[in-house]
Amino acid sequence: MTAPAPRELRPADLFRLAVEGLRARRLRAGLSALGISIGVAAIVAVLGLSASSQAALLAEIARLGTNLLTVSTGQKAGGGVARLPAAAPAMISRLPGVTDVQHLGTVPDAKVYRSPHVPAINTNGLAVNAASLGLPAAVGAKLARGAYLNAATEREPVVVLGAGAAQLLGIDRAWPGQRIWLGGRWFYVAGILAPSVLIPTVDASVFVGYPAARRYLGFDGHPTTVYLRTRSDRVTGVHALLAAQANPENPGQVSVGRPSAALVAQAAAESAMNGLFLGLGAVALLVGAIGVANIMVISVLERRGEIGLRRALGATRGHIRTQFLAEAVLLALAGGAAGVSAGALTTAVYATTRGWAVVIPPLAWAGGLGAALLIGAAAGLLPALRAARLSPVEALWSV
């Protein structure tokens, strides 16, 4: 009489066996899954925050426009800083496709302080610039307090502060009579700009009108930076002509830039730094894999009696091997699911506080769960094979 063929282990029975095996050792299983969850959470959070940050930055760039170009002073052939011609803004405005031209000129010898009693060395590195009247609109800056310069105040000792300059000077509002000590005399504060995204140097600047800079600060009238807006379909063409148009005699002494391109490059550089944190997450996953392998090896040693009894009742080596492998995979997936949830929650909370859109790439959560699955299978394979090699007599004899 031939022995009946062993029955296949149904998926539902396999899942129930794996769950019962882990429930019997809850604390040990939880600690083993913790390492995997930390690693997966780190990976999901890093990728999610990076994607959310980039999405917010690109949305801000799209809102402000990618058609802003800058022309600034370069270097002379023999060394030293070159100067733009005083007529550079007017010449640039004649280029086809240019819709707006604004400019500023640095006043190098002017120092700004909260009051004349501040030591002369404490300048906080603030720059004083003569600025044209339409500068905020051109660079995408907004007013946070007060008003910007106009045709009347540009001729008087009146300033507008960048966001960073106002903070360093301890000024948070522009009220009548508010003033600062600039160039050896009092200047009244008309307004404060909001933080600038496209032109961060605006934040650390103090702006005065061109006529006032000439009259009170000895400004020579030469612009140092010209900001221009172009038609969207003419950006490349205008960019190629700017150096020669701004300074026909010495185009090589002119620097031309595009702030939006610099911000996109900055976002790419920040993404490259994410590799470090992803590496730390991988280390945590490795620690979690060692924990899973450890608990499965110990589980095989502790459950020899169960293995022997199941083998005696007709379970095959394949059944035993599949059972222990399923426990390892389930343990790793539980840790991976917890890690994905923790990483997604971290991303959502941080992105919301910064005003970003919450973006969690499919690569983040799918990669986290996939890594957990592979780790569980790899960590549980050797203990599962070891359990399957035990004979019923050997297993029951060791009880």
Positive or negative, the Cα torsion across 120, 126, 131, 133? negative
Least confident of 57-66, 119-128, 161-170, 172-181: 57-66
- Distance, CA of 240 to CA of 70 (rounded, Å): 12
pLDDT for residue 334: 86
Work out the average pLDDT over 164-171. 92
**Rounded to the nearest 10 degrees, what angle do helices 362-389 and 26-64 cross at?**
160
User: Partners of 210 in the beta sheet?
Assistant: none
Given a contact cutoff of 8 angstroms between Cβ atoms, the answer to whether 87 and 246 are in contact is no
**Rounded to the nearest 10 degrees, what angle do helices 317-354 and 11-23 cross at?**
70
Q: pLDDT of 331-351, one tens digit each?
A: 888 888 888 899 899 989 988
Least confident of 7-16, 131-140, 171-180, 375-384: 7-16
DSSP string, 249-292: S-GGGEEEE-HHHHHHHHHHHHHHHHHHHHHHHHHHHHHHHHHH
Q: Residue 1: pLDDT band by 50, 70, 90 thresholds? A: very low
Given a contact cutoff of 8 angstroms between Cβ atoms, the answer to whether 344 and 361 are in contact is no
Average pLDDT of the chain, as a whole number: 81
Q: pLDDT of 7-16, one tens digit each?
A: 566 667 667 7
Q: Which residue has the tokens 């080596």?
A: 317
- Distance, CA of 50 to CA of 351 (rounded, Å): 10
